[in-house]
Chain A
Amino acid sequence: MNIAWKEIKKNKVRFLILGSIVFLVSLLTFIISGLANGLSQDNAALIKDLPEGQFYMNKDADETYNLSRIEGDLQKEILIKQKDAAAFSIQMGFLNDKDEKQQSVAFVTSTDSKLFKNVKQGEIILDRSLKDKGINVGDTLTNNQFSGEFIVKGFVDQKKYSHAPVAYINMENYKEIYRVKEMQLVFIPGEDSSTEFTGLQSFSNKDFLNTIPSYNAEQMSLNMIVWFLVVISGMLFAIFFYMMNVQKIGLYGILKAIGIKTSTLFKMMWTQMLVITVIALIMSIALSQAFNMIAPEGMPFYLTFETTAQLSIVFLIIGFIGSTLSGIQIKKIEPLQAIQQGEA
């Protein structure tokens, strides 16, 4: 007999209150996680969209890609040895549109590679968000440090860096704007960290993301909120089931006296936890996905199925731990105590 479900049915209000709290906490967690992911995409989609591999920057750059310069001969040697490798640079800058309005962009240039958009001199490919600002294919854009003009050749989807749209330009144009001769970084896709080059320091994709100024601090703050919410939900389960169990000590004692197994009482509690959590999660997932679709244009909200599934599993695990911790008292209940206590 499913006594867990029968108790939920008989005490709907009590379980509805817990379910509502779990629903609200999980919804808030999904929303904040969506915002964290959205900001992460907004900050570093250019890097996050690259395949797993190794980034190399100059050891003297103090883990700051902006200060890194890959010496020309070394770059040539790496690119010859590693056919899929690309040397590239990123710098924040401005473009002036046809109305002389300045648009903040992240200029990106690279050696010939499938990983980055390669453009001819005087051409530019932009992140699609700039199209919404009135820039169209064929428009002419200028830069204060560039002697020539850029003609917009096309747009790419979701390529952002440091919260700015990416602008792919030719390497020669880049060198002119920033008065540099070398690239900042080398990326070798699929490479493990064992390959070393003299004078260069290697980073995995994740490690490299953390070298981006603001990325780490931003993500840490948001992830801390997410994990606090997850822990709070676990505590909620622990407190709720603790209160429920305290009220039911007499009943549990009698059930134990008539021969019910302690494990059956635990299963009853786990079933209730599972029912409440699953219903609350289904509702909060549905609502957060709806929010994903209707989120305002400017709001960086990005909630993937993978993140949702991971967080849901964590919620179930933490709910299980919380209820189990509170259920330890069930194990300690002596039938005799309950009988002597009087009516439950």
Chain B
Amino acid sequence: MTIFSLSEVRKTFTNGEVEEEILKGINLSLKEGEVTALVGASGSGKSTLLTIAAGLQPASNGQVIFEGHNMAAMSSEGVRKIRASKFGFVFQFAHLVPFLTVEEQLMLMLDVSESKLSKQEQKREVNRILTSVEMDHRKNAYPSSLSGGEKQRVAIARAIIHKPKILFADEPTASLDSKRSKDVMALIRDLTKTLNITTLMVTHDEEMLSYVDNVIKMSDGMVLQNGV
């Protein structure tokens, strides 16, 4: 079942008097529970597409449809609410809050998503997710004492703690070595399948494509190929 789609999405940047079209009428749809990878050379527009899909920047034209609503026509507050409660984010770097412990990072996300769970239930949920990413033993640690791989695991846990519908991941393994990259990708795939989360991920590491259900190849702001 399609949960998210882009229709004729265009993005134009103006640099002085020069107008550059980065995305040239993108159409795509994401199926519930699937992991989709956006691949392509640098400058192909994949990161721009991901950020538009995630509501982090507006499209110049076109529609971004999530659960039947066009996000492109929503107010910024409306988009923020969707980002907080329905989307999860994993970035190239973990971007953890430096003054919060691992447990508090996840509790913060539950606060942001306006979770209806009681404090005790929230704590139980945090423990459960931390166990699933094998970080429960470091729940009182601050980010400064974590390794790169551990930070990224916490970032993934933070991205899914509130049970988002869609997980957006922008090169989540780019700052990790090969072994840790595979571990993180396996984790993203396992969690999204277990929790039935739809994932859209940007990567240029072809090794990671074995973990995805669908690959969208981009070039020069257009979709070249849509399918495995």
Contact = CB atoms under 8 A, between A and B. Distances in A.
B72 interface: no
Interface in A292-344: 334-336, 338-339, 342-344
Given A7-B99, A10-B99, A259 B93 contact: no
Contacts, number: 69
A332 to B, nearest CB: 13
A259 B83 contact: yes
Interface residues of A, number: 25
Contacts of B98: 10, 251, 344
B35 interface: no
A344 B95 CA distance: 6
B59 interface: no
Interface string B85-112: 1010101111101111000100111011
Interface in A236-261: 250-251, 254-261
B89 A257 contact: yes
A119 B92 CA distance: 89
B100 A258 contact: no
Nearest to A7: B99
Interface in A177-218: none
A3 B93 contact: no
Contact of B91 (A256, A259, A339): A339
B74 to A, nearest CB: 14
A1 B108 contact: yes
Contact of B83 (A3, A9, A11, A258): A258
A335 B91 CA distance: 12
B139 to A, nearest CB: 15
Contacts of B97: 3, 251, 255
A176 to B, nearest CB: 78
A257 B83 contact: yes
Nearest to A11: B99
A118 to B, nearest CB: 69
Contacts of A339: 51, 56, 91-92, 95, 170
A6 B104 contact: yes
A100 B140 CA distance: 81
Contact of B85 (A11, A254, A257, A259): A259
Contact of B109 (A11, A258, A336, A344): A258
B71 to A, nearest CB: 14
A33 B51 CA distance: 56
A128 to B, nearest CB: 57
A251 B95 contact: yes
Nearest to B87: A259
A10 B83 CA distance: 28
Contact of A1 (B51, B81, B111, B158): B111
A1 B95 contact: no
Majority secondary structure of chain A interface residues (helix, strand, loop or mixed): helix
B84 A260 contact: yes
Contacts of B94: 343
A258 B162 CA distance: 11
B113 interface: yes
B178 interface: no
B112 A259 contact: yes
Contacts of B104: 1, 6
Nearest to A338: B95
A343 B97 CA distance: 11
Nearest to A4: B99
A137 B111 CA distance: 74
A10 B100 CA distance: 8
B80 A261 contact: yes
Nearest to B81: A259
A323 to B, nearest CB: 18
A121 B84 CA distance: 86
Given A1-B104, A1-B111, A250-B95, A258 B89 contact: yes
Contacts of B80: 256, 259, 261
Contacts of A6: 99-100, 104
A250 B142 CA distance: 18
Given A3-B100, A259-B83, A336-B57, A10 B142 contact: yes
B84 A335 contact: no
A258 B112 contact: yes
B208 to A, nearest CB: 19
11 contacts: A1-B107, A7-B99, A250-B95, A256-B80, A257-B54, A259-B83, A259-B113, A334-B57, A339-B170, A343-B93, A343-B94
Given A1-B111, A6-B100, 9 more contacts: A7-B99, A256-B80, A257-B83, A257-B89, A258-B84, A259-B112, A336-B51, A339-B51, A339-B170
Q: Which 7 A-B pairs have the closest CB atoms?
A: A259-B84, A10-B99, A343-B93, A254-B95, A259-B83, A7-B99, A336-B56
